[in-house]
Amino acid sequence: MAAQHPYTEHLDIRHSLAWFRLKQALLRLKRALDVKEPFDFVTYVGKAPILLIGEGNLSFSASLLRRSGHSGRQIIATTFEPETTWTRPTVDNARHLRRQGALVRGAVDATRLKEHVRGKTFELIVFQFPNVGSRVPRYGRNPNHILVRHFLRSAGQHLEETGQIVITTVNSSYYDGAFDMDGAAEASGFEKPVAHPFHFPEYPGYAHVNTLNDESAVDGETEFVTLVFKPKRHYK
């Protein structure tokens, strides 16, 4: 096999270094906000069917319902954990939601919604801070990217004609690179998501916890973003 010419080899090295520097620069960029105002979750409560996925301790659903002042009859709040493993705070939040008319379910897989909600459709489907708790690559990609991509495909089958999906996550270069929300949207038939800021103080009592443990992926973080996904068919 012929040896590579030194000049050609030098160009390859320069190209590799340039690509590496560009990649590092891109990773330093956080998600730029498209809208200054937070996404208005509250406006949907009591007016349209809402599905909340991966709710952990159910504190976001409970806080959202309290803040809205409406009944929860059009809300379905779910956790990945089976009900038999719920913590005391989760049980208390579930009790509050059920008293207000909401349907609460455990053991719901965000990527297999058809098995859990049957033929129901929703105006809003919410997934707050999805995180599989692992960095082991799947199919050569970060597992959180795979989770979001599969979730969007599953949730897209249960949207009303004007429905949308919202995902909230940490606004950092690491999370933006790991989740690759734009890539997940493109692969799942959605437009590029629109970014809104998210502020925890607007939801009193909301305390995020990871799936399968009581830790939180948001500890130490200060900036969060809600991404709004709409199927491409809405623009045809």
Per-residue pLDDT tens for 7-26? 555 555 555 555 555 544 54
215-226 residue pLDDT tens: 555 666 789 999
44-90 residue pLDDT tens: 999 999 999 999 999 999 999 999 999 999 999 999 999 999 999 99
Q: What are the structure tokens assigned to 77, written together?
A: 């709040």
Q: What's the full length of the chain, in residues? A: 236
- Residue holding tokens 């734009």? 182
Give the separation between CA 101 and CA 109, rounded to whole angstroms.
22
What does the pLDDT read at residue 235? 43
Confidence of residue 142 (pLDDT cuts 50, 70, 90): confident
Whether the CB-CB separation of 147 and 130 falls below 8 Å is answered with yes
Q: How far is CA 115 from CA 26, 71, 217, in A?
A: 38, 26, 28
Question: Is it the case that residue 214 has pLDDT exceeding 60?
Answer: no
Bridge partners of 124, per DSSP, are 50, 164
- Residue holding tokens 């969007």? 152
Whether the CB-CB separation of 39 and 224 falls below 8 Å is answered with no
What does the pLDDT read at residue 2? 54
Question: Is it the case that residue 183 has pLDDT exceeding 50?
Answer: yes
Closest CA to 124 of 210, 46, 217: 46
Whether the CB-CB separation of 78 and 51 falls below 8 Å is answered with yes
Three-state helix/strand/coil letters over 80-95: CCCHHHCCHHHHHHHH
Confidence of residue 33 (pLDDT cuts 50, 70, 90): very high
